[in-house]
Amino acid sequence: MRYVYVVHHFNKYNADIKSIGEFSSPAEAKAVVTKYKNFKGFKDTPDGFYVDAYELDKMYWSEGYYSVKVKSKQG
């Protein structure tokens, strides 16, 4: 099996999510995280990095999805 390793960052102070990139190995992904932890915009939340591994040529949404409407409270 072959995988792609996706790196993204979540800033807990402003709920901003950034996709950093896709890499061919866990080591490459880790090296990018180590580098980006020192960059402006990331160094304030160094624990916000996540690496997800996805198997190539595999469907992840094979069942589809649905939406749910939520009623808001009327004041």
Listed in sequence order, the residues at least 6 apart from 32 whose beta carbon sits closer than 8 Å to its beta carbon are: 7, 20, 21, 23
Per-residue confidence band for 74, with pLDDT thresholds at 50, 70 and 90: low
pLDDT tens per residue, range 30-72: 999 999 999 998 999 999 999 999 999 998 877 777 777 787 7
| Residue 71 exposure: Cα atoms within 13 Å on the Cβ side | 3
The model's pTM is: 0.76
Q: Which of 65, 19, 58 is nearest to 42 (CA)?
A: 19
Vertex 3 angle, CA 38 and 56, to 5° = 130
Per-residue confidence band for 75, with pLDDT thresholds at 50, 70 and 90: low
Sign of CA dihedral 41, 39, 53, 61: positive
